[in-house]
Amino acid sequence: MTMEASTRIRRSTAILTLPLGIALLVGACTGDSDEAGLRVVATTTILGDVAQNIVGEDASVEVLVPLGADPHDYQASSQQVAAIRNADLVVAIGFGLEEGLSNVLESLADDGANVLEVAPLLPTIPFGGGDDRDPHVWFDPIRVADAAREIASRLAAIDPALEWEARADSYGTALRAADAEISTTLAAIPEGNRILVTNHDALGYFADRYGFQVVGTVVPSGTTLAEPSSAELAALVEAIDRLGVRAIFAETTEPATLAEAIAAEAGQGVAVVELYTGSLGEPGSGADTLIGMLRTNADRIAAALR
Amino acid sequence: MDWLTTPFELAFQQRALVGGSLAAIALALVGTWVVIRGMTFLGDALVHGVIPGIALAVLLDFNVLVGAGLAAAVMILGINLVHRQTAFSEDTGIGLLFVGMLALGVILISRTASYSGSLTSILFGDALGVTGNDVKVLAGVAAITLVASVALHRQFLVLSFNEEKAQVLGLRPRLAHAVMLGLITLTIVGSFQTVGTLLVFGMLVGPPATAALLVRRVPAMMATAAAIGVLSVVAGLVISFHANTSGSATMALVPIVLFFLVLTVQSILDRSRRSSTASTA
């Protein structure tokens, strides 16, 4: 329990020093304003990859939240906000995912910035207890294919001469192929093991698409900023024991300390497996594209639950 | 001079400049008293202590300013209670309430069954995301703070430097203290939702402390602090644009760096003056 106590203290300090932490998360990549062609800004590395597949050489893509950072807590620089304002198209997830950017995106949309929030355009699933919708749409490749078409038609409205939609379609084909491959990979998991315990509630669409059930999350509520109560953790440990859960899925953008504490408490070889969630992986990690990331996650989930 | 003008070409940058400057002016006025009376810890505690009030307002769907005001009132009453009923110095009471309120805030945030993205964006506002309406609110806060600072200047002055004399003169120091706390709360609550916690606290303490190094009289201190505050907003926005650093955080950092610069220059001047007097003597 001491481990849990120290984690809780660290969590509280994290909230206390959050503004400071945000200050350190400064974007690394900035587009060159002299470049020819259209300029597209994407909020996360994942959306940046989707956008890149659609625009090819016809536009530059700038990503705001750096690789490996959590999109839930991030604050932009004046230069980046200017890039958002001047971009031909800004692609965001929406539904409040970009917590630190929401004030900026809202106020720039009022100024006439061309902001496209993709999640609200897709068939969504409910989130949390209230009437919120789940923003983590990129875990379902089929929904991403739909989002790609939406982005392409927005771009076609700006410059109809270019082949946005054709590229979105071929990217859609690649996504569908990845989807079929992931289904095959996951078919190795027996029905009784199709149970997920995740760090924060990010895998709703994955569960929806491939027939899994999310029975619990380490962090309550949709944001990575919340922290669990002792009773919630105890209930989670109890559920893991009762259902024979084999693994807890942590995230590359968040420390796995709480997940490890729960796994240790539950005992009986519950593994802590890291998944790519809010950000793509480093180049060469195999998860440096969305399709690669979804494949990597599926491989890891299959290996853990088989 | 392009490097100075390009960071202010776009509407959001101009709103950040105007909004940030208005907040800086209001905070410089009350911050001067905060620094003179040694209430910095109280100010920091207030900035964080209003969080549960805001969380509650979002959860129960009422005005966040009312929620923040309520939390501040609870906090100040609690601190006064500890101060009056115990032999502890005031900072113990502030510490108790600070941690208590912050913990309550984290509990409330974690209790939200729904997605709390909206709550986070309220708690940690961003100067670069200031809207036209926010600028109006900030203008109102700055105006009220300015009028109150001028009208109550004598009361605040006597309260700060000779509380017993205030009693004798019939200036009701207790009431003046309460009004001052109310004014600090108003400024903090009115500005942190729009420009962010970090910037508010930086501007509350940084510019007045720097001004206190430079000038003696209170009105001069306020004017200098306001000028340093506005200068910090301008410099922060220019740096954030060119160096690609987070907006609010950069603006908050400038006055702190300025403080230590002034301090260093002064101590060097002092030493050289002392050694020159020593050599002439």
- Contact at CB, A225 and B120, closer than 8 angstroms: yes
- What b/e readout covers A252-271, taking b as 16+ CB neighbours within 10 angstroms? bbbebbbbbbbbebbeeebe
Mean pLDDT of B118-144: 81
Among the listed residues A304, A301, A290, the one whose alpha carbon sits nearest the alpha carbon of residue A93? A290
pTM: 0.75
CA–CA separation, B10 vs B7, rounded Å?
8
Interface touch B237/A223, C-beta < 8 Å: no
Could you tell me the two tokens for A261?
């504490």
**A108 chain-B contacts, CB cut-off 8 A:** 12
Q: How far is CA B172 from CA A271, B165, B168, B238, in A?
A: 66, 10, 9, 45
Q: A213 phi and psi, to 5 degrees?
A: -125, 125
Return the number of other C-beta atoms located less than 10 Å from residue B169's C-beta: 13
pLDDT per position as a tens digit, A222-276:
555 567 777 788 888 888 888 888 899 998 877 788 888 888 888 778 999 999 9
Kindly determine whether residue B128 and residue A76, on different chains, have CB atoms separated by under 8 Å. Answer: yes
The DSSP bridge partners found for residue B246 are A77
- Report helix, strand or coil for A197: strand
Mean pLDDT of chain A: 83
Residue A148 to residue A205: CA distance in whole angstroms:
17
Per-residue tokens: B256:
């702190």
* HSE (side-chain half, CA atoms, 13 Å) at A262: 34
Provide, as residue numbers in chain B, all residues whose Cβ is less than 8 Å from the Cβ of A86.
10
Up-side HSE of residue A182: CA atoms within 13 Å toward CB? 26
- Out of B112, B116, B244, closest to residue A77 by CB: B244
Provide mean pLDDT across the span A94-108. 84
Which residues does chain B have within 8 Å of residue A16's beta carbon, measured at their own beta carbons?
Answer: 48, 102
The alpha carbon of A17 is separated from its chain's Cα centroid by a whole number of angstroms, namely 23
Residue in A19, A26, A111 closest to B11 by CB: A111
Distance from CA of A177 to the nearest CA of B (A): 32
pLDDT per residue as tens digits for the range B162-180: 777 777 777 788 888 888 9
Does B65 or A131 have the greater pLDDT score? B65
- Triad B232, B233, B237: Cα angle to 5°: 115
pLDDT greater than 70 at residue B245: yes
Chain B: closest CA distance from residue A277 (Å): 17
